[in-house]
Amino acid sequence: MRQFSVELDELHEKVLQMGGYVESAIHRSVRALVDREPELARQVMRDEARINQMEIEVDNLTTRMFALRQPMAKDLRFLTAAMKINTDLERMGDLAVNIAQRAISLVNQPQVKPLIDIPRMAQLVESMLLRCLDAFVKGDADEATSVLTADDEVDSLRDSVYQELVAYMQSEPTTVPAAIDLMFVARNLERIADHATNIAEDVVFLVKGVDVRHHAIEVRDA
């Protein structure tokens, strides 16, 4: 039987690899939108299968490790965190596909407005994802905590995107379908940020044994 630490390394690596795929899906979906490049969007849709496959592999590996080892304390928290992070990453991949679909829909419509806030949201969200994965690898609770505050910035950008789009729709009804697509893109980016926040919370729990979800304070065995 291989050493548990070897399996842990493999799990780390798989989660990071999946995170890389997801990050590139987010990046490409927003590029497809901004540059009006449907081929990039279609690539995101094709690459989803790879993310889904990784989700199943990570689940299988984690489940096997739960079953064959008797992980305790921190190892147990690590496996639980990996399982949750896996689910969040897969959902982020789905959301990137949603953005890609909106990008394709938007290519066939006149441009509502130059896109400024949406690319800024995307940049923030990608940096949140990279940081929470980095925090996961390094076991760095401070870096994970920094992701939680970035989420507020994403929410406020989304608010300004909404207000602006409502004004466009009201003054020029022909922009309604395209503005709705953009509104859902902003919403999807906000939700990707929420998943990054979930991951960051899981990392804090993993490192400190403190559950920061829903502001619950509960100290576990270290």
* Site residues, its own copies (CB under 8 A): 49, 52-53, 55-56, 59, 63, 66-67, 70-72, 76-77, 79-80, 83-84, 87, 162, 166, 169-171, 173-174, 176-177, 180, 183-184, 187, 211, 213-214, 216, 218
Residue whose structure tokens are 């997801």: 22
Considering the complex, state which of residue 23 and residue 181 has its C-beta at the smaller distance from its own copies: 181
Rounded distance, CA 202 to CA 86, Å? 11
Cβ contacts of 145-154, under 8 Å, gap ≥ 24:
145/200, 145/204, 147/196, 147/197, 147/199, 147/200, 148/197, 148/200, 148/201, 148/212, 150/124, 150/193, 151/193, 151/194, 151/196, 151/197, 153/124, 154/121, 154/124, 154/125, 154/128, 154/189, 154/190, 154/193
State in angstroms the smallest separation of the CB of 179 from its own copies: 9
State in angstroms the smallest separation of the CB of 117 from its own copies: 17
State in angstroms the smallest separation of the CB of 129 from its own copies: 19
Considering the complex, state which of residue 143 and residue 178 has its C-beta at the smaller distance from its own copies: 178
CA 31, 40, 110 angle in degrees (round to 5)?
65
Considering the complex, state which of residue 2 and residue 214 has its C-beta at the smaller distance from its own copies: 214
Considering the complex, state which of residue 1 and residue 216 has its C-beta at the smaller distance from its own copies: 216
Please choose, from the candidates 55, 16, 36, 50, the residue with its C-alpha nearest in 3D space to the C-alpha of residue 138.
16
State in angstroms the smallest separation of the CB of 74 from its own copies: 11
State in angstroms the smallest separation of the CB of 37 from its own copies: 25
DSSP string for 63-98: HHHHHHS---HHHHHHHHHHHHHHHHHHHHHHHHHH
State in angstroms the smallest separation of the CB of 160 from its own copies: 15
Give whole-number Cα distances, 26 to 32, 59, 81, 94, 122, in Å.
10, 22, 22, 10, 8
Considering the complex, state which of residue 19 and residue 93 has its C-beta at the smaller distance from its own copies: 93
State in angstroms the smallest separation of the CB of 170 from its own copies: 4
Considering the complex, state which of residue 53 and residue 111 has its C-beta at the smaller distance from its own copies: 53
Considering the complex, state which of residue 109 and residue 123 has its C-beta at the smaller distance from its own copies: 109
